[in-house]
């Protein structure tokens, strides 16, 4: 009960702050979906980041329920489940037929079959503390996979000498989220919450340093930059998915972007434990834990 107990005021404070930061990250895709609503088309936007963010939130809620007493993890990831579900439904309403079929398939595969398998295995194959440990490591493994994705966008920034797809504000938010959730995990003595955010903090710092280094740099030859940019703009119909575990965070990232833009959002989604938020190339998934 450390997370909610006022006997541990610092843990409660960091958990509450983590909820606020991660919730803000979850709302980041609103402009994108407003654009989709206005145009009545998903254009080249991808649904994968939102499906992964939803899975991450579901996984962390299950972990919090099994461990018990982790109300602050449940609140932010419950919010993540609701918000990501709304995003996915909106996407399905306006997406072309092929994109709808693809999105339905990954939802069934990941959020229904994948989560169902994890649920049954941990519920019947493990008992007591072993169940918490096994589920905790599953959450850590998924979160680490999400946080590794920034390697691709970091390489792109170095190659093009352009920070176009790596906005400083997002890198800063994700870094702060990782710090807050790490401290929360440390204070409640939960290594499964703390460990993934060490990686999140590391990549966040690297991104901010690169941003400062290249913010005034001259990008590569225009033709090369254009070619590189076009290479990233793959229509949703092609279903080219580069998966980067967060809020899933994440982030959380928590926003459906053209594949070219996926790197700069992702586990907004995960920018919290559980949704580590959660991103897919995602150059970042916010993991909402």
pLDDT in tens, 64-111: 998 877 888 999 999 999 999 999 999 999 999 999 999 999 999 999
Instruction: Kindly state the tokens that stand for 50.
Output: 């939102």
What's the CA gap between 139 and 141, in Å, rounded? 5
Residue 172 falls inside a structural domain = yes
User: Hey, which of 15-24, 44-53, 201-210 has the most confident mean pLDDT?
Assistant: 15-24
Which letter does DSSP use for residue 243 in this model? -
Radius of gyration of the chain (CA): 18
CB 84 within 8 A of CB 253: no
CB 177 within 8 A of CB 200: yes
- pLDDT mean over 102-122: 92
Range of the domain at 91: 9-215
User: Where would I find the H helices in the chain?
Assistant: 9-26, 30-39, 48-67, 71-94, 97-106, 115-124, 129-147, 150-160, 168-187, 191-214, 222-232
CA–CA distance, 255 with 269 (Å, rounded to integer):
8
Minimal CA–CA distance to 152: which of 66, 40, 256, 231?
231
Residue 248 in domain: no
8-state DSSP, 264: G
Is there a domain that residue 283 lies in? no
Residue with tokens 């989604």: 269
Rounded to a whole number, what is the largest CA-CA distance in the chain? Answer: 60
Q: Tell me which residue of 171, 156, 162, 2 sits closest to 72, measured CA to CA.
A: 2
Residues in contact with 17: Cβ distance below 8 Å, sequence separation at least 6, in sequence order: 180
Inside any domain, residue 220: no
Q: Give the range among 3-12, 213-222, 244-253 with minimum mean pLDDT.
A: 244-253
Sorted by sequence, the CB contacts under 8 Å of residue 20 that are 6+ apart come out as: none
d(CA 250, CA 267): 2
5: left (phi over 0), alpha (psi -120 to 50) or beta: beta
Q: Kindly state the average pLDDT of the residues 231-237.
A: 41
The answer to whether residue 285 sits within a structural domain is no
User: Given this model, what pLDDT does residue 123 score?
Assistant: 84
Q: Which tokens hold the place of 97?
A: 């037929």
Higher pLDDT, 226 or 14: 14
Q: Residue 95 is inside which H or E element, if any?
A: none
111 in a structural domain: yes
Number of domains the chain is built from:
1
- Give domain status of residue 124, yes or no: yes
């Amino acid at each position: 009960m450390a997370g909610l107990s006022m006997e541990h005021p610092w843990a409660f404070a960091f958990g509450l702050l983590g909820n606020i930061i991660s919730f803000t990250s979850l709302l980041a895709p609103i402009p994108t979906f407003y654009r989709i609503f206005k145009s009545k088309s998903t254009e080249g936007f991808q649904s994968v980041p939102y499906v992964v963010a939803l899975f991450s939130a579901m996984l962390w809620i299950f972990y919090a329920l099994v461990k018990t007493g982790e109300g602050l993890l449940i609140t932010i990831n419950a919010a993540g489940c609701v918000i990501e579900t709304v995003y996915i439904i909106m996407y399905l309403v306006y997406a072309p037929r092929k994109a709808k079929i693809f999105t339905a398939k990954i939802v069934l595969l990941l959020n229904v079959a994948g989560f169902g398998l994890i649920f049954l295995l941990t519920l019947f194959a493990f008992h007591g503390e072993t169940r918490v440990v096994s589920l905790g490591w599953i959450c850590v493994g998924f979160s680490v996979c999400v946080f590794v994705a920034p390697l691709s966008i970091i390489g792109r920034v170095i190659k093009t000498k352009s920070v176009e797809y790596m906005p400083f504000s997002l890198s800063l938010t994700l870094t702060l989220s990782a710090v807050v959730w790490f401290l929360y995990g440390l204070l409640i003595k939960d290594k499964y919450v703390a460990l993934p955010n060490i990686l999140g903090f590391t990549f966040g710092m690297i991104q901010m340093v690169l941003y400062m280094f290249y913010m005034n740099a001259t990008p590569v030859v225009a033709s090369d930059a254009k070619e590189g940019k076009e290479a990233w703009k793959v229509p949703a119909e092609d279903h080219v998915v580069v998966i980067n575990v967060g809020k899933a965070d994440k982030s959380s990232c928590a926003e459906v972007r053209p594949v070219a833009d996926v790197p700069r959002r992702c586990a907004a989604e995960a920018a919290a434990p559980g949704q580590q938020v959660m991103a897919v190339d995602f150059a970042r998934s916010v993991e909402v834990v």
